[in-house]
């Protein structure tokens, strides 16, 4: 890596890598929040497990910019109606002492604030890979996959820098209003291309419909596919995509 770029990356990493004190705080709040949910789950006697997901579960979160995602994994013989209603009711009881708000995706989930940290409590099904029954079922698998890869490749800090870079140019977030990269896609790109800089340069070889496996350049089962160019995009998505294309063009010219 060019020395000047290395210096920039190191400076960014100082800002986004959690300090030992911040890590301990997040760990303590995560364990406290998970304990609340587990205690509530134990009262009803169903075979429900509670997993820590998202960037905290993968250790790819950014300093001073962290949410805690807890997934309540229900057995598949529970109806979707009961999944949403029971999951939300248990989460509300578990965090009854804390500020909370109902949120909705495919089904209801709870957002609570514990020691000034936002905690998302999301019910989903415990299914096999590819046999998803609800949209949230993929998330625990994503977490396990990334954690397993990071044990071998130790690219956590490269992912942090890449996430911060996309935030800085306004293309972080898969919401329609942004039309950019989700946190999970940032993680897969760095894993697939082997480094922060590799992920930045990736667009040169990407074509519409290109597979990104997360398994490195050697291939592997597809986890994501770049969007096809003939699929209609909303204006917000097009603006985000244009920004992302501009990022890659500028990066290629410099490096």
Its CATH class, for the domain covering 155-254, is mainly alpha
- Residue 64 backbone zone (phi > 0: left; psi -120 to 50: alpha; other: beta): left
Which DSSP state fits 181? Answer: B
Q: What is the pLDDT of residues 149-184, one digit of tens each?
A: 999 889 999 999 999 998 988 888 765 455 578 899
Distance, in Å, from the CA atom of 157 to the CA atom of 196, rounded to the nearest integer, reads: 9
Name the residue ranges covered by the structural domains of the chain.
18-128, 155-254
18-128 and 155-254 share one fold: no
Q: Residue 18: pLDDT band by 50, 70, 90 thresholds?
A: very high
Neighbours of 242 (CB within 10 A): 12
For 233, residues 6+ apart whose C-beta sits below 8 A from its C-beta are: 179, 227, 241
pLDDT (tens digit per residue) in 23-51: 999 999 999 999 999 999 999 888 999 99
Is this structure's pTM higher than 0.95? no
- How, if at all, do strands 117-125 and 68-74 pair? parallel
Check residue 107 and give left, alpha or beta (phi > 0: left; psi -120 to 50: alpha). beta
Over residues 114-138, the pLDDT tens digits come to: 999 999 999 999 998 889 999 899 9
> Would you identify the CATH topology of the domain 18-128?
Beta Polymerase; domain 2 (3.30.460)
């Amino acid at each position: 890596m060019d020395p000047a770029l290395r210096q920039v990356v190191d400076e960014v990493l100082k800002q986004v890598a959690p300090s030992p004190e911040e890590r301990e705080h997040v760990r303590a709040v995560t364990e406290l929040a998970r304990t609340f949910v587990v205690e509530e789950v134990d009262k009803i006697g169903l075979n429900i497990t509670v997993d820590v997901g998202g960037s905290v579960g993968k250790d790819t979160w950014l300093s001073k910019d962290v949410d805690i995602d807890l997934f309540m994994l229900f057995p598949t013989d529970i109806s979707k109606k009961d999944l949403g209603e029971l999951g939300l009711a248990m989460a509300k009881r578990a965090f009854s002492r804390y500020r909370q708000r109902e949120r909705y995706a495919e089904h209801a989930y709870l957002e609570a604030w514990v020691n000034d940290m936002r905690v998302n409590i999301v019910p989903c099904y415990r299914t096999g890979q590819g046999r998803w029954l609800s949209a949230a079922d993929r998330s625990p698998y994503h977490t396990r996959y990334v954690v397993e890869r990071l044990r071998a490749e130790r690219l956590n800090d490269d992912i942090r820098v890449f996430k911060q870079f996309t935030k800085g140019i306004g293309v972080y977030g898969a919401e329609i209003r942004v039309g950019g990269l989700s946190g999970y896609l940032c993680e897969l790109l760095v894993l697939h291309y082997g480094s922060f800089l590799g992920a930045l340069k990736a667009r040169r070889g990407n074509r519409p419909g290109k597979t990104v496996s997360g398994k490195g350049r050697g291939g592997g089962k597809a986890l994501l596919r770049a969007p096809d160019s003939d699929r209609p995009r909303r204006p917000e998505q097009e603006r985000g995509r244009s920004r992302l294309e501009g990022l890659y063009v500028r990066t290629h010219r410099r490096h």
